[in-house]
Amino acid sequence: MMGTIWFWIVGAMLTAYVVLDGFDIGVGALHLLLARTEDEKRLVLRSIGPVWDGNEVWLIAGGGTLYFAFPLVYAASFSGFYLPLMIVLWLLILRGLSIELRGHIGMGVWRAFFDGLFALSSVLLAVFYGAALANVIRGVPLEADSYFFLPLWTNWRVGPSPGILDWYTVTGGVLALIALAVHGAAYLAVKTIGDLQQRARRTISVLWIPLIAITALSLIATMAIRPQTLDNYKAFPIAFLIPAGVIASLIALLLFSRRGNDRRAFTASCVYLALMMIGAAAGLYPALLPSIIDPKDDLTIARSITGHHAQAVGLAWWTFGIALAIMYFVIIYRMFRGKVDLESEGY
Amino acid sequence: MDALLLHRIHFGFTITFHYIFPQLTMGLALLIVVLKTIAWRRNDEMYNQAARFWAKIFGINFVMGVVTGIPMEFQFGTNWSHFSRVTGGVIGQPLAMEGVFSFFLESAFLGLFLFGEKRLSASAHWASAVMVWLGSWISGFFIIVTDAWMQHPVAYRMGQNGTFEITSFWKLLTNPWALLQYPHNMCATVITGAFVMSAVGAFYLLERRNEEFGRIFLKVGVIAGVISCIVIIFPTGDLHGKYVAKTQPASMAAMEGLFHTEKGAGIVLMGQPNEEKQTLDNPLVVNNVLSFLIYGTTSAEVTGLDKFPKDQWPAPLPLLYYGYHIMAGLGTYFVVVMGLAAFLLWRGKLYTTRWILWPLMLSFPLPYIATTAGWMTAEIGRQPWVVYQLMRTSEGYSHHVSASNALFTLLGFAGLYTVLGILFVVLIYREIAHGPAHMKKFEEGLHTVSGA
């Protein structure tokens, strides 16, 4: 029972990461296209400046919580996804630097370099995150000792010896890139005015059809390569509200954005991403990392949950700690609410 | 190449590089609180200006600390997966708590501290500086708790599949090793902060630029420095050393280069341990002092390495010995320099005494070396165990990650961190050359200044 709670806690923290860091990654992926002048570039950076670092903490805290609650899953997945995780780390390093160091030297070459690095690292991070999630859904070739090691690619096919990248996980990567780009555009529309805001809104309109198409494609592909995903949905038909909500939130996103109601459009985008994550978790449950070879090797909650005392104490401090964290986020987002300008302190 | 060695170097290199930055930010966070407190209580704009300057240095270090810190959280799983699997039931706890209790706090309030001066009242801005300081010191505590469990496991039992489970949350957090190591380590961060602040102050005075700020930096740096330099030796270092002798006698023998058990053991000031012949080459020893330092009497018997089977000797032994001696030697030097500077400050002569300003300016790299050497002492001293006497290091690494893949990513980090190091030096140089006097005032904002 408590294992189930921890499953959803880890899921919720990673969902919070995707929704929060998702918009600043999306902003990074788009900013070369949307921000044309130096002032616009600084506005774009200022829109995420005070919050991106805190958003990224959800990844660290989520990873730490996974380590704490499911040590076996943490150990197996982090060593098995060794190469892509290292690449993600390098991208996170380069991206953090490009945001923070750009403003330190007033040279055109310096700034252009970090602008490019910011865009490139954001695009690749989105693709890698999508592919990572798709790898978990597809399953990995777990060995008898519950470890595995995946090369970056093999024959690009979903089979018994897959690579990190195959057609399915690449689809997941492209989906993540488009979804986060739309999410970032929706955020920018909230935070800016004038030309920048118009371009952000137009981006949502342009990317909306591809987004809905690839969302549908990925859902069908998931059912094709891993039919067990539907088991929980069949057992609890109420879960079909999740995909229904995905479609509804996408429609709401477009309608609100067209009417210029940017805050609601951004909310719809948050709901869309959260439901995609929850839907994936619901399909996996009770496995955290399924085996592509034999379902009895799946790393499930029961096999990988930590000891009783840790679970019980953990629930107490986690609840308290996250309540504090949410309070900090409310303070910060309230403090820096509204449209960004070049008058006040910032990048 | 040997996979075990590569995974050890992988973690050792990335943690050593990472810790360059947090050791300064943790110490500096406290000193910034001191500057902000004086500014607020005395309503002194000079101190506010000084705090703004150090906030810029802090900000650059913080970014470097964040981006090099994320790989640390990942590397338990990527490079030390079996260790993580077996011990996650215990040390997953403090590592998760660090994320939840410290990183959220730090990241949120650093944003407020760096970008919120205009929007906040003086007291609220002061409070945000305090929160950043608290966040960074809480983070340090959870990491020390994690390391302390590896050094001195407490509050655990064997759970399912040969993994460890925690039995008492409270005993884990109050592990005596952690309670001794934490104050010792936090003193070291204040020493780093104090030497860096004093070095910039001495530079400004010697260079005859920003002299009014140079005097503030020297005053705060030297006072913080002399206190922390004494406390790091006595009582924190003294108590911690005695505890190591009690709980890890083989490490203590190796640190001291004591191959043979002796009554009235002497302390080695200099000499090179010769593992083959089990002697010290070129020894410079003061008789009886080691026995006295550990047991309080000059005739006590100190256990040498001869009492331990060779497969339980810490390795590489000479590196452990040198690490310890470098730390202790530099610690002694710090007391001398800071003691003299504090005396001259008290006599009102510090700002004009060039023979002390020069060593103050040049000594700033030494605390970094001493801290690194101290951590090498702790971590090599634990060898050959990853969890002391419970799990060997050779069992802990990711056996499914080949040596070739580990080397590939090690080279990647080496390249990336070289670039980071160069960028860091350039940016810090610019800030110091730019100086505190030309920073924009309160109303004009802080973070835009050097980008302008």
Q: Of the candidates B60, B78, B100, which has its C-beta nearest A79's C-beta?
A: B78
Asked whether residue A83 is domain-assigned, the answer is yes
C-alpha of B290 from chain center: 25
The count of domains in chain A is: 1
Q: What is the pLDDT of residues B63-106, one digit of tens each?
A: 999 999 999 999 999 999 999 999 999 999 999 999 999 999 99
Residues (pLDDT < 50) of chain B are 441-452
Convert chain B into a string of H (helix), E (strand) and C (coil).
Answer: CCHHHHHHHHHHHHHHHHHHHHHHHHHHHHHHHHHHHHHHHHCCHHHHHHHHHHHHHHHHHHHHHHHHHHHHHHHHHHCCHHHHHHHHHHHHHHHHHHHHHHHHHHHHHHHHHHHCCCCCCHHHHHHHHHHHHHHHHHHHHHHHHHHHHHHCCCCEEECHHHCEEECCHHHHHCCHHHHHHHHHHHHHHHHHHHHHHHHHHHHHHHHCCCHHHHHHHHHHHHHHHHHHHHHHHHHHHHHHHHHHHHHCHHHHHHHHCCCCCEECCCEEEEEEEECCCCEEEEEEEECCHHHHHHHCCCCCEECCHHHCCHHHCCCCHHHHHHHHHHHHHHHHHHHHHHHHHHHHHHCCCHHHCHHHHHHHHHCCHHHHHHHHHHHHHHHHHCCCEEECCCEEHHHHCCCCCCHHHHHHHHHHHHHHHHHHHHHHHHHHHHHHHHCCCCCCCHHHCCCCHHHC
Q: Residue A145 carries which side chain, given as an amino acid letter?
A: D
Which residue in A68, A111, A128 has the most chain B C-beta atoms within 10 A of its own C-beta, making it the best mutation to test that interface? A68
- Cβ within 8 Å, pair A83-B398: no
Give the angle subtended at the CA of A157 by the CAs of A151 and A163, to the nearest 5°: 10
Q: What is the pLDDT of residues B9-57, one digit of tens each?
A: 999 999 999 999 999 999 999 999 999 999 999 999 999 999 999 999 9
- Cβ within 8 Å, pair A64-B111: no
Range 342-401 of B in CB contact (< 8 A) with A: 398-401
Asked whether residue A159 is domain-assigned, the answer is yes
Q: Of the candidates A306, A324, A346, which has its C-beta nearest B92's C-beta?
A: A306
Which residue in B57, B62, B85 has the most chain A C-beta atoms within 10 A of its own C-beta, making it the best mutation to test that interface? B85
Which residue in B115, B156, B165 has the most chain A C-beta atoms within 10 A of its own C-beta, making it the best mutation to test that interface? B115
- Cβ within 8 Å, pair A68-B88: yes
- Shortest distance, CA A337 to any CA of chain B (angstroms): 12
- Shortest distance, CA A112 to any CA of chain B (angstroms): 14
- Shortest distance, CA A333 to any CA of chain B (angstroms): 10
Compare all CA atoms of chain A with the CA of B111 and give the residue at the minimum distance: A50
Q: Which residues contact B421 (CB under 8 A, 6 or more apart)?
A: B17
- Shortest distance, CA B69 to any CA of chain A (angstroms): 9
Residue B439: predicted pLDDT: 63
Asked whether residue A257 is domain-assigned, the answer is no
Asked whether residue A256 is domain-assigned, the answer is no
Hey, is the C-beta of B108 within 8 angstroms of any chain A C-beta?
yes
- Shortest distance, CA A242 to any CA of chain B (angstroms): 29
Compare all CA atoms of chain A with the CA of B440 and give the residue at the minimum distance: A345
- Shortest distance, CA A164 to any CA of chain B (angstroms): 15
Compare all CA atoms of chain A with the CA of B76 and give the residue at the minimum distance: A75
Q: Of the candidates B118, B169, B450, which has its C-beta nearest A313's C-beta?
A: B169
Hey, is the C-beta of B159 within 8 angstroms of any chain A C-beta?
yes
A17 chain-B contacts, CB cut-off 8 A: none
Hey, is the C-beta of B443 within 8 angstroms of any chain A C-beta?
no
Rounded to the nearest integer, the mean pLDDT of chain B is 92
Asked whether residue A309 is domain-assigned, the answer is yes
Per-residue pLDDT of chain A (347 residues; tens, 9 = 90+): 899 999 999 999 999 999 999 999 999 999 999 999 999 999 999 999 888 999 999 999 999 999 999 999 999 999 999 999 999 999 999 999 999 999 888 899 999 999 999 999 999 999 999 999 999 999 999 998 999 999 898 888 887 788 899 999 999 999 999 999 999 999 999 999 999 999 999 999 999 999 999 999 999 999 999 998 899 999 999 999 999 999 999 999 999 999 999 999 999 999 999 999 999 999 999 999 999 988 889 999 999 999 888 999 999 999 999 999 999 999 888 888 888 888 776 77
B451 chain-A contacts, CB cut-off 8 A: 102-106, 347
What's the domain range around A208?
2-230+283-335
- Cβ within 8 Å, pair A79-B77: yes
Residue B104: predicted pLDDT: 93
Q: Of the candidates B63, B85, B445, which has its C-beta nearest A96's C-beta?
A: B63
Residue B288: predicted pLDDT: 86
- Cβ within 8 Å, pair A78-B98: no
CA atoms within 13 A on the CB side of A334: 7
B423 chain-A contacts, CB cut-off 8 A: 97, 101
A86 chain-B contacts, CB cut-off 8 A: 78, 409, 412
Q: For a pLDDT cut of 70, what percent of chain B falls above it?
A: 97
Range 404-423 of B in CB contact (< 8 A) with A: 405, 409, 412, 416, 420, 423
- Cβ within 8 Å, pair A82-B405: yes
- Cβ within 8 Å, pair A57-B95: no
Residue A15: predicted pLDDT: 97
Residue B440: predicted pLDDT: 53
- Shortest distance, CA A72 to any CA of chain B (angstroms): 5
Compare all CA atoms of chain A with the CA of B91 and give the residue at the minimum distance: A68
Asked whether residue A186 is domain-assigned, the answer is yes
Compare all CA atoms of chain B with the CA of A13 and give the residue at the minimum distance: B100
Asked whether residue A199 is domain-assigned, the answer is yes
Asked whether residue A166 is domain-assigned, the answer is yes
Indicate whether this complex's ipTM tops 0.90.
yes
